Amino acid sequence: MDATTLLLLGQDSLISGAIYALLAVTMVMVFSVTRVLFIPQGEFVTYGALTLAALEAGRVPGTAWLLLGVGAVAAVLAMTRARQTLTFLKAIRILIIDVGLPALLLLIVHWAAPLKLGLVPEMLLTLALVVPLGPLVYRIAFQPLAEASILVLLIVAVGVHMGMTGLGLVFFGPEGYQTSAFSDAVFELGFMNISAQSIWVVTTTAALLLGLYLFFEKTVSGKMLRAAAISRRGARLVGISTDRTGYLAFTLTALIGAVSGLMIGSLTTIYYDSGFIIGLKGFVAAILGGLHSYPLAAAAALLVGTVESFSSYSASAFKEVIVFTIIIPVLLWRSIFRPPVEHLE
Amino acid sequence: MKITQKIIPMAFVLSLFAGSDAMADIKIGITISATGSGAAIGVPAKNTVALLPPTFAGQNVQYIVLDDASDATRAVSNARKLISVEHVDVLIGSSIGPTTFPLVDIAAETKTPLIVMNPATGLVEPMDEKRKWVFKILPHDTVLAKGIADHMAKNGVKTVAFIGFNDAFGENWYAAAEKTLGERGIKIIAKESYTRNDTSVSGQVLKIVAAKPDAVWVGASGTPAVLPQKALKERGYKGQIYHTSGVASMDFIRVGGKFVEGAILPAGPIIAASELPDDNPIKKLALDYIQRYEALNKIPFAAFGPHLVDSVRLISDATPEALKIAKPGTPEFRAALRDGLENVKAVVLINGILSMSPTNHSGYDDRARVMVRVENGAFKLLR
């Protein structure tokens, strides 16, 4: 292996590592705040990429309808749950937020999609369509079970994953899509070609990670999330609503998932079921980070990216095997030296 | 989006009742992978169901279509249900290897003729007591691979790198490549694999470029085949890149864009139907299918849909003789139908000209293949 190959593989691993890092960090966040191992994280990547692809093609993406449907379900659930204290005004408020806004968004998309407004407005529209799915999914699937065991939440997460993959097939079809790149420019650095798109991916990832850090350290909402992560009961005792931290965690996770989708969609072909394997690699990184430490998870994600691209070079037939095998020594090490602590909640 | 259009096929079990006298109808059971990983291949077949003839050989025909969700277990239970509950006379299915292979045992066990819509040679070879119930409506991989190997030999290619799926599809094509290239003295100097859902093949492509092959053969299907082509172009690979017939759909060009320009592949004649010479009997059939498919579904046709039409045409060809022996719905009719299918000679299908024999249940010649090149976003016939 010569220096050129080494550098090219390094560049490749940095790009995929960046995406895995974003997913790993949000997975750690969601797990520590809500105790949900959020398997469907990858679906937000797919939805983000495919929604943008549909908008670029001038079509109304299925996610616009999905948002309306999911919003309606959430509204019905919210009203049933509050049926004892439901007033007319409250019902109207729920309806406006959960059904009215998605309906408005649907109208906007119907108007905007055929106009092909260009990459940036389409990206914003994509985020507006995909991100609200995060908190809505939390309200429908996880909030009623917020106090259930980790295992139950995991099973629900698997169910949500299957549902979202199936809907992805219905909305986007079986074939893959690629979105146009943020920039087609290619810089030549000696013997290496570096595409502007890959620089964009790495800087966006760095900016998002820095943003998350500042969010957790400097803002009240971020501190609420940290408090809920340390102890749900303690957080409630000091007046932090764990429902709200749940929404917040899922909103962030959907946002970061969708942004990852926007970035990766131009680098590779995305299928309705691509998200799972991407999310799973983020999950491997999160496990390597002990499902606890953000910096460790991010570093582990870079490791996963590196292992992946070097094994695809030297033993392509065993690539996935190698990537998923690195989880075993870590699990062994953890089970011997750091026995699991049962959460007393 | 029209929701109703999406929901009706989802609700599925698309039974088309063609007449009132249901007792003596010929029943055709179809299991396809309309959802799941094989959906790209199964959906065009599902969209073709409405184009099947409601009657042939003076009989009403009833089609019972089930979705196996690309799941082998589901394919098996579908086949069992179609045979033991619906008492179908013939079974057609399925879309991908894993859902097709298990059907062979069921067909042999229940003595029901089976028409498979998968290219794997192993479905009908070597011919034995089990496989004599199975007929393949697609030409063998080797018929198609020969087209690539001939083109390489003609253009002075000496060394080839192969990159294909890390599964049965990729391995089957690798075997076909090894055989056809070996016969022509062309060497395979690198073999790499990747999976359908990979987001990057940079590693594999770096290794291929370093090996400096005269040409690259991509053993992949559908839009995932774009990935190595794109990576090769980005690395500045200048040699010719060949693909398999598995990419012969407009989705490949839609996703690949300028990166797939110049790619050469073998395909069924339908892909370049309008360019076929007028005296080619396939031309009329193919154009007719395309026109009806696109009028009905409002989306471009894919090369995987005609397999279903061809399967039914094959059955209709064998039916008149079988009817002389027994009535539909009886084991005798099924056996007679099997014998009939084995004896069809030079029947013109969209996929090619097919002649069956007791030893060859996929008897296509080179007319089942055209070589095409991607030019200006379309498949153009190579002459």
Instruction: Enumerate residues 6+ apart whose C-beta is below 8 A from A61.
Output: A50, A51, A54, A55, A109, A113, A126, A129, A171, A172
Average pLDDT value over all residues in chain A: 88
Q: What is the pLDDT of residue B212?
A: 92
Is the preceding peptide bond at A183 cis, omega within 30 degrees of 0? no
**How far is residue A301's CA from residue A316's CA, in Å, rounded to a whole number?**
20
Assess if residue A260 is contained within a domain.
Answer: yes
Question: How far away is chain A from the Cα of B175, in angstroms, using its nearest Cα?
Answer: 16
Cβ–Cβ below 8 Å for B200 and A176:
no
Distances in Å between the Cα of A85 and the Cα atoms of A59, A76, A78, A81, A82 are 42, 15, 11, 9, 6
Do residue A274 and residue B251 have CB atoms under 8 angstroms apart? no
Burial class (CB in 10 A: 0-12, 13-18, 19+), B263: buried
User: How does residue A231 score in pLDDT terms, banded at 50, 70 and 90?
Assistant: confident
B112-to-B61, B84, B134, B229 alpha-carbon distances in Å: 17, 11, 9, 42
Domains annotated on chain B, with CATH: 3-139+287-351 (3.40.50.2300), 141-267+369-381 (3.40.50.2300)
Predicted local distance difference test score (pLDDT) of residue A191: 64
User: Six-digit token pair at B3?
Assistant: 């929701």
Question: Could you say which residues from 83 to 102 on chain B have a Cβ atom under 8 Å away from some Cβ of chain A?
Answer: none
The string of pLDDT tens digits covering residues B267-313 is: 889 988 889 999 999 999 999 999 999 999 988 888 888 999 999 99
Q: Which of A167, A313, A318 to mutate to test the interface with B (most CBs of B within 10 A)?
A: A313
Question: Of A59, A176, A310, which is closest to B255 when you measure between CB atoms?
Answer: A176
Amino acid at position A121, single letter: P
Spatial separation of the C-alpha atoms in residues B85 and B79, rounded to whole Å? 10
**pLDDT > 90? residue A169:** no
Mean pLDDT of chain B: 88
- Closest Cβ opposite residue B199 in set A62, A166, A264: A264
The CB density around residue A185, as the number of other CB atoms within 10 Å, is: 12
Predicted confidence band of residue B24 (pLDDT cuts 50, 70, 90): low
Nearest residue in chain A measured CA to CA from B201: A312
pLDDT at A195: 78
- Distance in angstroms (rounded) separating the CA atoms of residues B69 and B291: 28
pLDDT classification of B22: cutoffs 50, 70, 90: very low
- What is chain B's length? 383
Q: Are strands B347-348 and B264-267 parallel, antiparallel or unpaired?
A: unpaired
Residue A107 is predicted with a pLDDT of 92
A343 occurs within a structural domain:
no
Q: In the structure encoding, which two tokens stand for residue A163, read together?
A: 């549902």
pLDDT at A255: 95
Sign of torsion over alpha carbons B205, B211, B213, B219: negative
Q: Does A177 touch chain B (CB under 8 A)?
A: yes
Q: What is the largest CA-CA distance in chain A?
A: 72
The residue with tokens 């797919």 is: A46
- Are B166 and A273 within 8 A, CB to CB? no
Task: Yes or no: say if A312 and B201 are a contact pair by the CB < 8 Å rule.
Answer: yes
How, if at all, do strands B159-165 and B187-194 pair?
parallel
Q: Nearest C-alpha of chain B: how many angstroms from A171?
A: 9
Task: Report residue A263 as tokens.
Answer: 């970035």
In whole angstroms, what is the distance from residue B352 CA to residue B266 CA?
Answer: 13
DSSP helix/strand/coil, B378? strand
Is B192 close to A316, i.e. CB distance below 8 A? yes
C-beta atoms of A8 and B210 within 8 A: no
Q: Which of A25, A301, A56, A13 has the alpha carbon at shortest distance from B257?
A: A56
Question: Which chain A positions have a beta carbon within 8 Å of B200's beta carbon?
Answer: 12, 15-16, 267-268, 308-309, 312
Identity of the residue numbered B196: R
Residue range of the domain that includes A106: 3-337
CA-derived radius of gyration, chain A: 21
The answer to whether residues B357 and B350 touch, using CB atoms and an 8 Å cutoff, is: no
Q: How far is B142 from chain A (nearest CA, A)?
A: 23
Is B6 near chain A, with CB under 8 Å?
yes
Q: Is A78 exposed, middle or buried (0-12, 13-18, 19+ CB in 10 A)?
A: buried
Is A89 part of a structural domain of the chain? yes
Backbone angle region of B13, left / alpha / beta, with phi > 0 → left and psi within -120 to 50 → alpha:
left
Instruction: Report the C-alpha gap between B73 and B339 in whole angstroms.
Output: 29
Residue A193: is it exposed, middle or buried by C-beta count within 10 angstroms (0-12/13-18/19+)? middle
Q: Cis ω on the peptide bond leading into residue B126 (within 30° of 0)?
A: yes
**A187: contact with B, CB 8 A cutoff:** no
* Cα angle: B57, vertex B62, B68; to 5 degrees: 130
Percentage of chain A beyond pLDDT 70 is 96
pLDDT at position B86 is 92
End-to-end alpha-carbon separation of chain B, Å?
41
B317 strand-pairing partners: none
Report how far Cα B187 is from the mean position of its chain's Cα atoms.
28
Confidence of residue A340 (pLDDT cuts 50, 70, 90): low
Provide the residue type at B232 as one letter. L
Q: Give the residue-averaged pLDDT of A163-170.
A: 90
Give the DSSP H/E element, type plus range, for residue B256.
helix B250-256
Question: Would you call B55 helix, strand, or coil by DSSP?
Answer: strand
pLDDT recorded at residue B19: 39
Report the alpha-carbon distance of residue B59 to residue B50 in Å, rounded. Answer: 17
CA distance linking residue A167 with residue B51, whole number of Å:
27
Q: In which residue are the tokens 């520590």 written? A: A32
User: If you average pLDDT over residues A36-41, what whole number do you get?
Assistant: 92
pLDDT (tens digit, 9 = 90+) per residue, B313-326? Answer: 999 999 999 999 99
Asked if A144 reaches chain B (Cβ–Cβ under 8 Å), the answer is no
- Is residue A301 included in any domain, yes or no? yes
CB within 8 Å of B16: residues ≥ 6 apart: B49, B50, B52, B54, B62, B63
Cα distance between residue A320 and residue A245, in whole Å: 35
Residue A342 counted as domain residue: no
Structure confidence at residue B325 (pLDDT): 92
CB A310 within 8 A of CB A22: no
A311: its two tokens: 């094994």
Number of structural domains in chain A: 1
CB atoms A12 and B200 under 8 Å: yes
Q: In the prediction, which pLDDT does B20 show?
A: 39
CB B45 within 8 A of CB B312: no
DSSP β-bridge partners for residue B63: B16, B28
Under 8 Å between Cβ of B43 and B34 = yes
Query: Does B192 contact chain A (CB < 8 Å)?
Result: yes
Amino acid at B208: I
Compare all CA atoms of chain A with the CA of B42 and give the residue at the minimum distance.
Answer: A174
Residues of chain B above pLDDT 90, percent: 61
Give the model confidence (pLDDT) of A268-288 as tens digits: 889 888 899 999 999 999 998
- Please say whether the beta carbons of B289 and B270 come within 8 A: yes
Contact B222 A311 (CB under 8 A): no
Tell me if B197 and A271 make a contact (CB, 8 A cut-off): yes
pLDDT tens-digit profile of A51-67?
999 999 888 999 999 99
Dist. CA A259–CA A41, nearest whole Å: 12
Split at pLDDT 50, 70, 90, the class of B6 is: very low
Separation of CA A146 from chain center: 20
Identity of residue A43 = E
Question: Which distant-in-sequence residues (6+ apart) come within 8 Å of B199 by Cβ?
Answer: A16, A264, A267, A268, A274, A278
pLDDT at B4 over 70: no
Q: Measured in whole angstroms, how far is the alpha carbon of residue B294 from the centre of its chain?
A: 19
In a domain, A345, yes or no: no
Which A residues 250-309 touch B at CB under 8 Å?
264, 267-269, 271, 273-274, 276-278, 308-309
Bridge partner residues of B191 (DSSP): B162
Of A59, A268, A273, the CB nearest to B227: A268
pLDDT at B11: 39
Exposure on the CB side of residue B23, measured as CA atoms within 13 A:
1
Find tokens 């990766």 and name the residue: A264
Residue of B nearest to A179 (CA): B255
The answer on pLDDT for B38 being more than 90 is no
**Using an 8 Å Cβ cutoff, are A38 and A31 in contact?**
yes
In this complex, is the C-beta atom of B11 within 8 Å of any C-beta atom belonging to chain A? no
Instruction: From B342, B346, B347, B339, select the one nearest B323 (Cα to Cα).
Output: B339
Q: What is the pLDDT of residues B217-228, one digit of tens each?
A: 999 988 889 999
pLDDT band at A113 (very low <50, low <70, confident <90, very high): confident
**What average pLDDT does this structure show over A118-131?**
92
Chain B positions touching A178 (Cβ under 8 A) are 226, 255, 257
HSE-up of A158 (CA within 13 Å, CB side)? 5
A44 has a chain B CB within 8 A of its CB: no
Residues of B in contact with A60 (CB under 8 A): 1
B206–A313 C-beta distance less than 8 A? yes
Mean pLDDT, residues B143-157 taken together: 92
Cβ–Cβ gap B192/A320 under 8 Å: no
Report the gap between the CA of B24 and the closest CA in chain A (Å): 37
Mind telling me how many Å the CA of A270 is from chain B's nearest CA?
A: 8
Q: Across the interface, do B204 and A313 touch by the CB < 8 Å criterion?
A: yes
For residue A124, the distance in angstroms to the closest alpha carbon of chain B comes to: 21
Has the ipTM of the complex gone over 0.90? no
pLDDT at B49 (0 to 100): 94
Tokens representing residue B314 in the block: 């094959």
